[in-house]
Amino acid sequence: MGHNQAIISVRDYMQQTGRQARAASRLLARAATRAKNQALEVTAQTIREQAAALTAANRLDLDEARSAGLDPALIDRLELTPVRIEAMAEGLMQIAALADPIGEISGLNYRPTGIQVGRMRVPLGVVGIIYESRPNVTADAAGLCIKSGNAAILRGGSEALRSNQAIAACIRAGLAAAGLPTDAVQVVETVDREAVSALLGMPEYVDVIIPRGGKGLIERVSREARMPVIKHLDGICHVYIDDKADLEKAVRVVYNAKTQRCGTCNAMECLLVAEGIAETVLPRLGRMYQEAGVELRGCERTRRILPGIKAATDQDYATEYLALILSVKVVPGLEAAMDHIARYGSQHTDAIVTEDFTRARRFLTEVDSSSVMVNASTRFSDGFEYGLGAEVGISTDKFHARGPVGLEGLTSQKFIVLGDGHIRT
C-alpha cells in the first residue's frame, strides 16, 4: 500500500488484494509441481542469503515491542533468532520435498454399474490468514499455500510488520523466479484494523480464514467471517500420570511438557496425578519444577503433599497460562482424569503416561481432543513433528481439519467419474 494510503481506502485496497488473490489462485491451482517447488526453494535460499536483513528488520520490531511494554511471551514469539530463520528456510525446503497433494487421485474403483469412481485432490482457492507476533508464520503459511495450490492473503500483527515485509520480499523473489504470479502471496501492508473486517467480508475472494492469535481475535473472526474459519482457540493441555505409569517416563514427559517452551499452545497447563502414585511422584516433580522456576498451583490433596504451593481455583483449571505456571490435581484414576479433561480442556492436546494397555487404549479412544498421546510430551503436537512439513495452525475444531493443519488441510477432494458412455437405469 505504502504511498497510496492517502488516495485509496482500506476497503478498496483489500478488495484489490482479494481480486488479485483470486486471479492468482486460478493460475496457482494448475501450476506444475516443479514450478511450485522452485518457488519454495528460491524463497528458502533468499531467506538464508537475507538473514542479516531479516534480523535487522526484526530488531526494529523487537525494540518497538519492548518499548511498548508488550507481554514477554509475545516478544519471545516475535523474535527471529538465527535458529528460527534457518528453521523457516528448512521448513520451506521440507515442504518442497513433500509430495504434491494436488491432482492426487485416490480410491478409483469400479462400481457394479461399470463406472469408475474416485477422488481428485484440489486446492481450496484463496486462504486468508490473520495472525499475531510470530513472523515465521509468514514463511510457513506462504509455503504451505503455494505447495497446495492456494493463493494466500497474510495479515500479520502490526508489531511484526517490518519482519513480515522482509520475509514477503523473499517469497516474491521465489514466486517470480518460478514464473508464478507474485500476487499468489500478498502480505497486507496496512496496520489499520479495518483491513481485517474487509478481509472477513469478502467471501467472493476468500475461501477460508485461519485466525491465529488470542481469544479476542478468534472470537471476532468467528463472529464476523462470512466464509469458513479454521480456528484455534486455547491450548489447555493436560498430562495424566496414571498409577500404572513408569515413574522415569512420567517425570521426563511432564517436565518437558511444561518447561521446554512454555509460551506455546501445546505446553502442558494442568497436571493430573493418580492418587496411587501422587506421594511418590509429586515431591520429586515439585523439586524439579521449583528449580526450573515453575509456579505450582495445587488442589487440596496436592497441597498436602507439597505444602508450600498456592491453591488452584476453578479459574486456574480453565486458564491457558502460556507461562511458567502449572495447576496440579490429584484424581482417583483414569475416569476422573478423563472427566476433568472433558470439563476443563480445550480439545487441543492431552496425554496419558501409563504402562497399562487397556487404559492407554481407552484414553486414546475416549478423549475427544485434536491430539491424544500415550507416553509422549504434549510439545510434540506440531506440524513439523507430525511430518506435515510446517503448519498454518492447529485446529481445535472438528470440522474439515483437526489438529495441526498442513498441506492436506488446505485442500479438498472432488469426485471423478470415468465411463464409456455409461448411463443410469
Q: Smallest distance, Å, CB 280 to a copy of itself? A: 16
Q: Smallest distance, Å, CB 389 to a copy of itself? A: 12
First to last CA, the chain: 58
8 Å CB contact between 404 and 381? yes
In the numeric block, the cell 538473514 is attached to 51
- Residue whose CB is less far from a copy of itself, 124 or 312: 124
Q: Smallest distance, Å, CB 422 to a copy of itself? A: 5
- Residue whose CB is less far from a copy of itself, 165 or 380: 380
- Residue whose CB is less far from a copy of itself, 5 or 106: 106
Going from the C-alpha of 369 to that of each of 25, 242, 378, the distances in angstroms are 33, 19, 12
> 420: exposed, middle or buried (C-beta count within 10 Å: 0-12, 13-18, 19+)?
exposed
- Residue whose CB is less far from a copy of itself, 65 or 250: 250
Q: Smallest distance, Å, CB 160 to a copy of itself? A: 25
Q: Smallest distance, Å, CB 404 to a copy of itself? A: 7
* Distance of alpha carbon 355 from alpha carbon 352, whole angstroms: 10
- Residue whose CB is less far from a copy of itself, 192 or 246: 246
Q: Smallest distance, Å, CB 364 to a copy of itself? A: 5
- Residue whose CB is less far from a copy of itself, 91 or 125: 125
Q: Smallest distance, Å, CB 178 to a copy of itself? A: 20
- Residue whose CB is less far from a copy of itself, 157 or 235: 235
Query: In terms of residues, how long is the chain?
Result: 425
Residues at the contact surface with a copy of itself, assessed by CB under 8 A: 29-30, 103, 109, 111, 113, 115, 117, 120, 122, 124-125, 207-208, 228, 246, 248-250, 252-253, 255-257, 260, 351, 353, 364-366, 368-377, 379-381, 385-387, 397-400, 402-404, 412-425
8 Å CB contact between 115 and 68? no
Q: In b/e form, how buried is each residue of 115-145, taking b as 16+ CB within 10 angstroms?
A: eeeeeebbbbbbbbbbbbbbbbbbbbbbbbb
* Distance of alpha carbon 21 from alpha carbon 199, whole angstroms: 12
Pair type for strands 116-123 and 105-110: antiparallel
